[in-house]
Chains A and B, each alone.
Chain A
Amino acid sequence: MNTLLTLHPPLRVAITGGTSGLGLALVEALHARGAAVAFVARNGATVADVARRFPGSHGIVGDVARKDDTHRIALQVNAHLGGLDLLVNNASSLGPVPLRPLADTACEDLEAALATNLIGPFRLTKALLGALAASARDGRGAVVVNIGSDAAVTPYAGWGAYGASKAALSHLGRIWDEELRVHGVRTIVVDPGDMDTPLHALAVPDADPSTLKRPRDAALELIAAIEAAWPTRFGLWRGHPDTDLPAVERAVGNGAVT
C-alpha cells in the first residue's frame, strides 16, 4: 500500500457489494488504512449498519443490476468522495440457487446473473470513468478491479450462469484495460479464490469453512494486487502521443491478476 497511502488527499475508493464477504472485508481493510471509502449494497438497513461500523465511510443504497440505479450510485460516489481513484466491481450474483445444469437454467436467471455480474459493472464503470480519468490526469492514477473467479476459466458443471457471466466480465476487463491504459486508467481482473462467504455458502452449502480462505486474507491479497498494478510514475501526458504508460507487470498465482 505504499503508493496508495502516499496519495493526498487519501485514496478514494468505491466498492460494490460492500456489506458482506469480500466487499465488507475490503471496506474494513481500506478504511483501516485511511482510504475514503464509499460502498454500495441493496439493503438500506445493512448499509446503515456498516456505515456506522466504519465512521467516515459512505454507504450508498442501490442495485448495480438496475440501470436506473447506476447514475444515482455514481452521483453519490463522486459527491461523497470528491472524485474516484479505485473502483472495485465486487457485487456478484450466483445465478439460480441451488446450482443447476444449464439445461435447467431459466433464461431469466441467466439474464439476472448477467445483469449483476456483467452489465452492471460495465454501466457503473462507464458512469464513473470520467472521475477515474480525471484522477489519472491529475497524476494520481486510477484502477478498476473486476472480481473474477476460477469458474470463469474452468467449465464447472452447475455453475453455468455464474461462470459464463464472470468469464464475460473478465474479458470485458481485459478490453477496458487495452483501451483505457493510455488514459492512465488500469483495469485488472482478480480471482480471490474460494472464500468463506455467504455467496460460497449458497453455492456449496456443505463446504467445510476451515478449508476456505478468510475474506480478510483475500482482501489483503487483493490490495497487494491493486498496489502492484497501480499506474505510478506515468508522466502527465500533455499532448505527445509518443509518451505512453509503462507496462505493468501482472501478478500470477493465487489472488491472480489475469
Chain B
Amino acid sequence: MKAATKPVQRPVDARLLAIDADGELRDLPRARLAELFEPGDVLIANDAATLPASLAGVHEPSAAPIEVRLAGRPSLDATDVDRFTAIVFGGGDHRTPTEHRADPPPMRPGDGLRIGPLTATVRRTFAQRRHIEVGFNVPPDAVWSGIAAHGRPIQYAHIVEPLALWDVWTAVAARPVAFEPPSAGFVLDWALLDALRRRGVGFQTLTHAAGLSSTGDPALDALLPFDEAYELPAATVAAIAAAHADRHRVVALGTTVARALEHAASRPGPLRAGPALATQRLGPDSLLRVVDAIVSGTHEAGTSHYELLRAFADDAVLARADRLLEQRGYRTHEFGDSVWIERAADRLQPRSNLNTATLASRFGQRRTTAPFWMPNESRMRKPSRRASTSKSA
C-alpha cells in the first residue's frame, strides 16, 4: 500500500474493503459505508479530540533541543495532568522518519525542561532512552493553555506539510485527550450520521486517549500500545445492551474503540459506564465479547493495529485482504482508505444475545441469525452464506 500524504479526512475517492464473517471480500467506494449496517446496529466512535502533543523544547542541563511527544496519562480527568508518559527525540522535526531521529540527550529524574511557556521536570526514566515520564510545574489550567498555545499535532514523515488541529480532529471531537488522532473516525461527517440515522442505525461514542503509533525505536514500538485511559458513557452502555438484546451488531469505529470496549467487557460483571484504563492488547487469541465488526484504517502487518485486526479475522483472510489492498492501490496511514471487518464466524463468543448477521446478508440475502440457545458448535457449523451479488475477490 502507498502512504496517504495529504491531510484530507474524506477524499472523494476513498475506498473501503469489506471483509464479512465468512471471509468474503468486497471492494467498495467508502461513500457506501452506511449500506453495510443493518437497522438496529450501533456504531461506536471515539470522540476524543487530539491534543497538539508534540512539544518543542530544551533540555535545561544540556541546553540541547528536544521534541517531547506526550503519549499517555493515568486518567482523562482534566486536573490529572501532573504526570504524562512521553517519548523524547533530539533536535529535528517530523520530516525526519522517527527511526532516523536523533536520540535526546541522556536524561535523569529531576532534569528541567523548557517547553514554550511551560516548565517541566523529568519525573522518571526507563530502559529505553526515548521513554520518560514528565510533569509540568504549573496548575492544570496553565498546562492546558500552554499545550494549546505551544503544541503541534504529532505527525510523521509521510505528511510533509505541518498539520493543524482541524486536520486531526474528527467531526465528533470533544474532550482533548488523544495523543494521536483516532483516525478511523475521519470517515465520519454529519451527513453520514444523518444517513445512519435514517437507516435506523444507532450512533454512540466513548472517549479513549489514543496513544502513539510509532516511536522509531523497535524495542519501544514492541511495547505499544501503552496503557490508555478511556471513559464509557451510560448511553453507550445502554445502546450496546439494547443492540445485543435484539441481536443487532456493535460496530467499533477504530482500534481504540475496540480496545476500550473489549477491556470494559473483560472485567467481571456486565458492561459498566465510567472511567477505566485499557491495559490489554488485542490479538489473534483475544476473545471479542462486545465488538461484532470494526471499521479501521488499513494497517501493515506487524503493527499493533494489525495485530488487533487478527482478533477479527483469520490470517489467511487478512493475507487475501492485504493482496487486494495492494492490487487496488489502497492508501494507508491515518488519512488513508478503510477496511470493514466482521468478526469471523468461527470466532463467535458464547454470548447469550448473539448476532451473526454478515456482510453477505447485507447485500441481498436473508439474514441468518443463530438462535441464542443453540450451542456454540452448532453455530459454528451453520451453512456458509454466500451473497448472490458478485464479489471482488
Contact B202 A133, beta carbon cutoff 8 Å: no
Chain B binding site: helix, strand, loop or mixed by DSSP?
A: mixed
List of B residues within 8 angstroms of A78 by Cβ: 49, 174-176
- The reply to whether A238 and B238 form a contact with Cβ atoms under 8 Å apart is yes
CB contact under 8 A between A137 and B204, given known A75-B144, A130-B170:
yes
Q: Give A95 Cβ to nearest chain B Cβ, in Å.
A: 27
The dominant DSSP class at the A interface is helix
Contact B141 A80, beta carbon cutoff 8 Å? yes
Closest to B40 in A: A239
Asked if B169 and A127 make an inter-chain contact with CB atoms under 8 angstroms apart, the answer reads yes
* CB-CB nearest in chain B for A240: B200
B222 proximal to A (CB < 8 A) = no
Tell me the nearest residue of chain A to B42, going by C-beta: A239
Interface residue tally for chain A (C-beta within 8 Å):
35
Q: Which of B145, B172, B204 contacts A61 (CB 8 A)?
A: B145
A75-B148, A79-B175 known; A134 and B205 CB under 8 Å? Answer: yes
- Please give me the residue from chain B that is nearest to A74 by CB atom: B49
Tell which of B172, B201, B243 touches A130, judged by Cβ atoms closer than 8 Å: B172
Tell me whether B78 and A79 are in contact (CB under 8 A). yes
Give residues of chain B (163-178) contacting chain A, Cβ–Cβ below 8 Å: 164-166, 169-176
Measured CB to CB, the closest approach of chain B to A217, in angstroms, equals 31
A62: nearest residue on chain B (CB-CB)?
B148
Which residues of B in the span 153-198 have a Cβ within 8 Å of any Cβ on A?
164-166, 169-176, 190, 193-194, 197-198
Decide if A166 is an interface residue (CB 8 Å cutoff): no
A-contact 0/1 string along B258-291, CB 8 Å cutoff: 0000000000000000000000000000000000
Residues on A with beta carbons closer than 8 Å to the beta carbon of B149: 72
Cross-chain contact A131 with B175 (CB below 8 angstroms): yes
A58 CA / B173 CA spacing, docked (Å): 20
Q: CB-CB < 8 A to A76: which residues of B?
A: 144-145, 148
Q: From B149, which residue of chain A is reached at the shortest CB distance?
A: A72
Contact across chains for B234 and A80 when beta carbons are under 8 A apart: no
Q: Are B202 and A241 in contact (CB under 8 A)?
A: no
**Given A75-B51, A134-B47, A137-B233, do A239 and B39 touch, yes or no (CB 8 Å)?**
yes
CB distance B200 to A236 under 8 Å?
no
Which B residues are CB-close (under 8 A) to A74? 49
CB distance from A190 to the nearest CB of B (A): 24
Residues from chain B with a CB closer than 8 A to the CB of A134 are: 47, 172, 174, 205, 207, 233
- For window 41-96 of A, CB contacts with B under 8 Å fall at 58, 60-61, 68, 70-72, 74-76, 78-84
Contact A82 B51 (CB under 8 A): no
A76 to B150, CA, bound (A): 13
Residues of A within 8 A of B (CB): 58, 60-61, 68, 70-72, 74-76, 78-84, 127, 129-131, 133-134, 137-139, 179, 182-183, 236-241
26 A/B residue pairs, CB under 8 Å, sorted by A: A68-B164, A70-B166, A72-B149, A74-B49, A75-B148, A75-B165, A75-B176, A79-B144, A79-B175, A80-B78, A80-B144, A83-B175, A84-B174, A130-B170, A130-B172, A130-B174, A131-B175, A137-B204, A236-B235, A236-B238, A237-B202, A238-B238, A238-B239, A239-B41, A241-B198, A241-B199
